[in-house]
Chain A
Amino acid sequence: MPIRAQQPDVSVVTLTIDGQDLSARADETIIEVCRENKIPIPSLCWMDGLSVVGACRLCVVEVDGGPRLQAACATRVREGMSVQTNTDKLQRYRRTLVELLFAERNHVCAVCVSNGHCELQWLAQTCGVDHVRMPYRNTGYNVDSSHEMFRIDHNRCVLCTRCVRVCDEIEGAHTWDVMGRGSGCQVVTDLAKPWGESDSCTSCGKCVQVCPTGALVKQGTSVGEMVKDQQFLSILARRRSSR
Chain B
Amino acid sequence: MNLDDLEDLAAKYRADAGDHDTEVRVCLAASCQSSGAQPVFDALSAGCDDGAAAAPCKVKGVGCMGLCSAGPLVAVAAPEAALEAGVIYRDVSAADAPDILASTAPGAAPVERLRCPSDMPFFARQHKIVLQNAGIVDPNSFRGYVMAGGYAAMVQALTEMTAQDVINEVTASGLRGRGGGGYPTGLKWSTVAKMPAGQKYVICNADEGDPGAFMDRAILESDPHRVLEGMAIAAYAIGANKGYIYVRAEYPLAVERLKTAIRKAKRSGFLGNHICETQFNFDVEIRLGAGAFVCGEETALMASIEGGRGQPRPRPPYPAEYGLWGSPTLINNVETYANIAPIVSQGGDWFAGIGTDKSKGTKVFALAGTIVNTGLIEVDMGTRLRDIIFAIGGGIPDGRAFKAVQTGGPSGGCVPEAHLDMPVDYDSLKTLGTMMGSGGMIVMDETANMVDVARFFMEFCMDESCGKCVPCRAGTQQMHGLLERIAKAEASRADLELLEELCDVVQATSLCGLGQTAPNPVLSTLRYFRHEYEEKLG
Q: Is the CB of B471 within 8 A of A97?
A: yes
In the complex, whether B407 has a CB less than 8 A from a CB of chain A is: no
- Chain A residue contacts of B464, Cβ below 8 A: 181-182
Q: Is the CB of A178 within 8 A of B313?
A: no
| Chain A proximity of B405: nearest CB distance (Å) | 28
In the complex, whether A39 has a CB less than 8 A from a CB of chain B is: no
Q: Is the CB of B473 within 8 A of A182?
A: yes
Option from B313, B502, B505 in Cβ contact (under 8 Å) with A54 = B313
Give the secondary structure class of B's interface: helix
In the complex, whether A107 has a CB less than 8 A from a CB of chain B is: no
A105 and chain B: residue at smallest CB distance: B474
In the complex, whether B498 has a CB less than 8 A from a CB of chain A is: yes
B511 and chain A: residue at smallest CB distance: A54
- Given A104-B477, A134-B498, do A184 and B314 touch, yes or no (CB 8 Å)? no
- Given A74-B314, A93-B505, A178-B309, do A56 and B470 touch, yes or no (CB 8 Å)? yes
In the complex, whether B268 has a CB less than 8 A from a CB of chain A is: no
- Chain B residue contacts of A135, Cβ below 8 A: 478, 481
- Given A74-B314, A93-B505, A96-B501, do A178 and B467 touch, yes or no (CB 8 Å)? yes
- Chain A residue contacts of B511, Cβ below 8 A: 54-55, 57, 71
- Given A100-B474, A103-B474, A134-B478, do A53 and B468 touch, yes or no (CB 8 Å)? yes
B465-501 CB mask vs A (1 if < 8 Å, else 0) is: 1111111011111100100000000000000001001
Q: Is the CB of A97 within 8 A of B467?
A: no
In the complex, whether B114 has a CB less than 8 A from a CB of chain A is: no
Q: Is the CB of A181 within 8 A of B509?
A: no
| Chain A proximity of B513: nearest CB distance (Å) | 12
| Chain B proximity of A194: nearest CB distance (Å) | 22
In the complex, whether A69 has a CB less than 8 A from a CB of chain B is: yes
- Given A159-B473, A182-B473, do A93 and B509 touch, yes or no (CB 8 Å)? yes
Q: Is the CB of B509 within 8 A of A183?
A: no
| Chain B proximity of A20: nearest CB distance (Å) | 24
- Chain B residue contacts of A111, Cβ below 8 A: none
| Chain B proximity of A77: nearest CB distance (Å) | 13
Option from A97, A137, A184 in Cβ contact (under 8 Å) with B470 = A97
- Chain B residue contacts of A112, Cβ below 8 A: none
In the complex, whether B510 has a CB less than 8 A from a CB of chain A is: yes
In the complex, whether A133 has a CB less than 8 A from a CB of chain B is: yes
Q: Is the CB of B477 within 8 A of A71?
A: no
- Given A55-B469, A57-B470, A100-B471, do A133 and B498 touch, yes or no (CB 8 Å)? yes
A58 and chain B: residue at smallest CB distance: B470
Cα distance A48–B502 when bound, in Å?
Answer: 30
Q: Is the CB of B509 within 8 A of A57?
A: yes
In the complex, whether A101 has a CB less than 8 A from a CB of chain B is: yes
| Chain B proximity of A136: nearest CB distance (Å) | 10
Please indicate which of the listed interface residues A54, A60, A71 has the most CB atoms of chain B within 10 Å of its own CB: A54
Option from A74, A137, A181 in Cβ contact (under 8 Å) with B292 = A181
Q: Is the CB of A185 within 8 A of B473?
A: yes
| Chain A proximity of B470: nearest CB distance (Å) | 5
In the complex, whether A140 has a CB less than 8 A from a CB of chain B is: no
**For residues 289 through 310 of chain B, which have their beta carbon under 8 Å from a beta carbon of chain A?**
292, 294, 309
Cα distance A71–B516 when bound, in Å?
Answer: 14
**For residues 84 through 101 of chain A, which have their beta carbon under 8 Å from a beta carbon of chain B?**
92-93, 96-97, 100-101
| Chain B proximity of A27: nearest CB distance (Å) | 13
In the complex, whether A180 has a CB less than 8 A from a CB of chain B is: yes
**For residues 203 through 232 of chain A, which have their beta carbon under 8 Å from a beta carbon of chain B?**
none
Option from A54, A92, A183 in Cβ contact (under 8 Å) with B462 = A183
Q: Is the CB of A181 within 8 A of B465?
A: yes
Option from A54, A133, A180 in Cβ contact (under 8 Å) with B467 = A180
Q: Is the CB of B474 within 8 A of A101?
A: yes
Please indicate which of the listed interface residues A53, A55, A101, A184 has the most CB atoms of chain B within 10 Å of its own CB: A55
Please indicate which of the listed interface residues B465, B477, B498, B505 has the most CB atoms of chain A within 10 Å of its own CB: B505
Option from A52, A56, A97, A137 in Cβ contact (under 8 Å) with B477 = A137
In the complex, whether B463 has a CB less than 8 A from a CB of chain A is: yes
| Chain A proximity of B522: nearest CB distance (Å) | 15
| Chain B proximity of A219: nearest CB distance (Å) | 28
**For residues 116 through 147 of chain A, which have their beta carbon under 8 Å from a beta carbon of chain B?**
133-135, 137
| Chain A proximity of B172: nearest CB distance (Å) | 30
Option from B314, B466, B470 in Cβ contact (under 8 Å) with A100 = B470
B481 and chain A: residue at smallest CB distance: A135
- Given A101-B474, A159-B473, do A182 and B508 touch, yes or no (CB 8 Å)? no
Q: Is the CB of A69 within 8 A of B313?
A: no
| Chain A proximity of B274: nearest CB distance (Å) | 40
Q: Is the CB of B292 within 8 A of A104?
A: no
Cα distance A177–B505 when bound, in Å?
Answer: 28
| Chain B proximity of A212: nearest CB distance (Å) | 13
Besides the known contacts A57-B471, A104-B477, A133-B498, 14 further A-B residue pairs in the complex with CB atoms under 8 A apart: A54-B314, A56-B469, A57-B509, A58-B470, A69-B509, A100-B471, A100-B474, A100-B475, A104-B474, A134-B498, A135-B481, A178-B309, A183-B465, A183-B467
- Could you give 7 example pairs across A and B, Cβ below 8 Å? A55-B470, A57-B510, A93-B508, A100-B470, A181-B464, A182-B462, A185-B473
The 9 closest A-B CB pairs, nearest first, are A185-B467, A74-B314, A100-B474, A54-B314, A182-B465, A104-B474, A57-B509, A96-B505, A134-B478
